[in-house]
Amino acid sequence: MRLKYRQGPQRDLREICDEFFTRMARRLTNPAICAQIDDDIWNRAVRRCDVLLRTQTTRVLLHGDLHPGNVLDGGPVRGLVAIDPMVCVGDPCFDAVDFALAGAGQEGVGTRCAHVAKECGMDLERLEAWCQALAPLEAIGYLAGSSTAPAVTELLALAR
């Protein structure tokens, strides 16, 4: 059996974002979630994401779902290994968003953004804008577990 190789990624970041927003919107009926994330917050997030997608000037190959749970320690020889990609092309800041948002309730998203942007040579303002757009999606993860963690407060403030 021969595996067929597809020339380059067939997906655009817009498709990935549409899938994320569609999947997470289904959770807005959960009382613990809709009590915190109203239509204004949700619609603002959708608009922010759309603006970022329309204004991307650099497009690179992306993992598409790069978050701490999709990075394994491959040991001293392999180093870090990214798993479960949703390969696409798009804004270079997108893959760093989950790592920046992981600072919520800890050192803060702004501090984490500054560190990630500096270490990775990214546009800080654009990374912050992506974090602002995707903060409600991250908050949904906490709220689905009925968490009132400090991270939720910071993420919802960022989303406003």
What pLDDT score does 148 carry? 67
Radius of gyration of the chain (CA): 16
- Residue 115 near residue 160 (C-beta atoms within 8 A): no
Rounded to two decimals, the pTM is 0.88
Range of the domain at 41: 13-58+92-159
What pLDDT score does 3 carry? 39
Q: What is the mean pLDDT of each run of 10 residues along the chain (160 residues)?
A: 48 93 94 93 97 95 88 92 90 94 92 95 97 96 81 94
Dihedral sign, CA of 17, 23, 28, 31?
negative
- Cα separations (Å) of 66 from 14, 32, 37, 123, 138? 16, 26, 24, 18, 13
The answer to the question of residue 31 being in a domain is yes
Whole-number Å distance between alpha carbons of 48 and 52: 6
The answer to the question of residue 66 being in a domain is no
The answer to the question of residue 34 being in a domain is yes
What pLDDT score does 70 carry? 87
The answer to the question of residue 5 being in a domain is no
- Residue 133 near residue 52 (C-beta atoms within 8 A): yes
The answer to the question of residue 119 being in a domain is yes
- Quote the number of domains for the chain: 1
